[in-house]
Amino acid sequence: MTYSAQFIDTPPARAELDAMAGAVLVEFGTPWCGHCRALQPVLAAALAAYPAVCHLKVEDGPGRRLGRSFRVKLWPTLVFLRDGQLVAELVRPGDEAEIRAALAQIDP
């Protein structure tokens, strides 16, 4: 799976993410967030080099438990998991190199 432009309809439970094998990038944000929209081309370019990474785009906000379980406070927040374990987290990443460095940690 590569870059996903659409938010998923039903986000997984935290237990499901913790049980996922392999490299997973969870992107927390909203469709109306300017920072989130500005990140999309940069994120797509970074993910192009990592086709094995599962990218899950999760809409966050009040009452959304998954984001709270990762202590998300600002959007976009990128959570990088390897075999269900948190490896890295980027809050409002600055550039593609920063994202690629985190992706390299979960998909060497």
Is 54 marked active-site?
no
Q: Which of 17, 26, 36, 88 is catalytic?
A: 36
Q: What is the pLDDT of residue 63?
A: 87
In three-state secondary structure terms, 24 is: strand
Q: What is the pLDDT of residue 22?
A: 97
Is 33 marked active-site?
yes
d(CA 85, CA 42): 24
User: Residues in the chain with pLDDT < 70?
Assistant: 1
In three-state secondary structure terms, 77 is: strand
Could you give the domains of the chain? 14-106 (3.40.30.10)
With b for 16 or more beta-carbon neighbours within 10 A and e for fewer, the 49-63 pattern comes to: ebeebbbbbbbbeee
